[in-house]
Amino acid sequence: MTTPPQPAICLQYGLGTRAAYEAAQKSSQASFYAPIAVAITGVGLVGGELINQILALSAPSPFRIVSLSSSKHTLFSPQGLSLTPTSWKADLLEAEPMSPDVLQRKLIDLVSPNGKVVFVDNTSSEAVAARYPSLLEAGVNVITPNKKAFSGDAGLYDRIVAASKKSGAKFLNESTVGAGLPIISTLKDLVATGDKVHKIEGVFSGTMSYIFNNFSNGQEGGPSFSSVVRVAREKGYTEPHPADDLSGSDVARKLAILTRTIPSLQSTIPLPQGFKSVPTTTLIPEALSSLTSPESADEFTNRLVEFDSESDKLREDALKDGAVLRYVGVIDVKEGIVKADLQRYPKDHAFATSLGGSDNIISFHTERYGARPLIVQGAGAGAAVTAMGVLSDLLKLV
Ligand SMILES: NC(=O)C1=CN([C@@H]2O[C@H](COP(=O)(O)OP(=O)(O)OC[C@H]3O[C@@H](n4cnc5c(N)ncnc54)[C@H](OP(=O)(O)O)[C@@H]3O)[C@@H](O)[C@H]2O)C=CC1
Ligand SMILES: N[C@@H](CC=O)C(=O)O
Ligand code: NA
């Protein structure tokens, strides 16, 4: 019996993981490398873009897409679906429903010593997130931009970590913070190499960044708050319900995720209830605070116009002090503080001058990056960059 190639055999090519995979595919041992089975749940903005990015990878693809699921339909084929960028939507619409339990069992059946399986969750659903521990425990890797599982109660998060440790299946969530920007991987690398994090701070929301870069740009007047929220939503920056952005919850979730990514940070700043433990400033007018159901997203967005005069006053007051408004997040490890807040910055501050579009900017102040922080900046929302972060996580499994 021939022994399947071990990772060291790939390394001897002196190539990156994808190149090593391709080399092994071409070698006589290719049969041991079944393309990774990818199950995609959630085919909205990010999910749809991810499918197209996977289909655009050059051959031989390290992946075969075995399932596509919306909330109503599922396509499944253990050998890999035959998909094209122009036809998959119609194919999915014609597919029969499949219960998530049945899909989960089918995916678990595909796990084998030479066959990796990965569940990609592109929804913002808590119910889908609640499946991660059982998937991981059965050896199915989980990759997701969905923040729910990592930023809620400690219980689910602890079960995810325990299940992953037990089976060795990985969970990767780069796109949950800063979309495709290397934020989680940077933090992990800093800590894994022995650096000590003192403070992480910055603009963590693409939506809030877009809103305030345009609404509060240091000039007199400007567009109304409600109009810039509407455009942010049209551009695909907001959560499915924009209230999740304007409440500050999305930023609080990202702060919880970063804090939990590093066990030593968790011990300094415990967040037992996840993002709900993070002191957070909401921008939602009291009168709209009940419009939180998925069906009320349009009404919520439409009614923001009723409160534009209050936002105008905030902008004017800041401008009188020579300042702009920016929504920021801070994890101050030394002080034991974590918070999400709307703050004023002088018009010549980097947050006022260097941000555009949906840019995130995140500074890591560490022992090694002491005098000058390590800064990551770039688009922090939008389908293309978010799907890219998910795909880069997928490539880490190859
Ligand atoms: N957009 C962005 O810039 C970023 C998004 N993210 C995260 O990515 C995720 C997706 O965001 P986005 O694509 O913008 O949102 P969308 O609303 O466009 O897509 C979400 C999709 O999930 C589907 N869905 C919901 N529940 C289920 C379910 N139980 N099973 C299968 N499908 C389901 C919905 O479709 P239907 O109900 O019709 O089936 C919908 O199409 C979210 O978690 C978001 O926080 C992260 C970083 C950036
Ligand atoms: N709504 C979020 C999307 C990415 O996480 C944001 O605006 O940052
Ligand atoms: Na990221």
Would you say residue 21 has pLDDT above 80?
no
Summarize the confidence of residues 54-68 as an average pLDDT.
97
Instruction: Judge contact between 127 and 151, C-beta under 8 A.
Output: no
Query: How far is it, in rounded angstroms, from Cα 284 to Cα 45?
Result: 25
Query: How far is it, in rounded angstroms, from Cα 314 to Cα 255?
Result: 25
Distance (Å) from CA 345 to ligand 3 centroid: 25
pLDDT, the chain, mean: 92
Query: How far is it, in rounded angstroms, from Cα 242 to Cα 394?
Result: 28
What pLDDT score does 10 carry? 30
Distance (Å) from CA 254 to ligand 2 centroid: 9
Confidence at 34, pLDDT banded by 50, 70, 90: confident
Q: What is the pLDDT of residues 208-236, one digit of tens each?
A: 999 999 999 999 999 999 999 999 999 99
Instruction: Judge contact between 181 and 206, C-beta under 8 A.
Output: no
Would you say residue 5 has pLDDT above 60?
no
Q: What is the pLDDT of residues 23-33, one digit of tens each?
A: 555 554 444 56
Query: How far is it, in rounded angstroms, from Cα 243 to Cα 283?
Result: 9
Summarize the confidence of residues 390-396 as an average pLDDT.
98
Query: How far is it, in rounded angstroms, from Cα 129 to Cα 370?
Result: 37
Confidence at 114, pLDDT banded by 50, 70, 90: confident
Summarize the confidence of residues 348-376 as an average pLDDT.
96
Write out the H or E segment, with its range, that includes residue 257: helix 249-261
Nearest to 33 by CA among 59, 4, 57: 4
Q: Which of 116, 148, 254, 339 is catalytic?
A: 254
Q: What is the pLDDT of residues 245-299, one digit of tens each?
A: 999 999 999 999 999 999 888 889 999 999 999 999 999 999 999 999 999 999 9
Q: What is the pLDDT of residues 161-185, one digit of tens each?
A: 999 999 999 999 999 999 999 999 9
| Beta bridge mates, 201 | 330, 363
Nearest to 246 by CA among 266, 230, 267: 230
Confidence at 124, pLDDT banded by 50, 70, 90: very high
Query: How far is it, in rounded angstroms, from Cα 46 to Cα 387?
Result: 5
What pLDDT score does 33 carry? 62
Query: Is the beta carbon of 380 within 6 A of some atom in ligand 2?
Result: yes
Ligand 1 atom closest to residue 237's alpha carbon, by position in its atom list: 3
Query: Is the beta carbon of 239 within 6 A of some atom in ligand 2?
Result: yes
Instruction: Judge contact between 135 and 107, C-beta under 8 A.
Output: yes
What pLDDT score does 371 carry? 87
Does residue 170 carry a catalytic annotation?
A: no
State the DSSP string of 261-278: HSHHHHHHS--TTGGGGS
Query: Is the beta carbon of 327 within 6 A of some atom in ligand 2?
Result: no
What pLDDT score does 15 carry? 40
Distance (Å) from CA 138 to ligand 1 centroid: 25
Query: How far is it, in rounded angstroms, from Cα 57 to Cα 211?
Result: 34
Query: How far is it, in rounded angstroms, from Cα 23 to Cα 280?
Result: 50
Would you say residue 153 has pLDDT above 80?
yes
What pLDDT score does 8 carry? 28
Query: Is the beta carbon of 174 within 6 A of some atom in ligand 2?
Result: no
Q: What is the pLDDT of residues 187-201, one digit of tens each?
A: 999 999 999 999 999
2 or 60: whose pLDDT is higher? 60
**Ligand 1 pocket at CB < 6 A:** 41-47, 69-72, 122-125, 127-128, 145-147, 175, 179, 206, 236-237, 239-240, 381-383, 386
Nearest CA to ligand 1 atom 47: 179
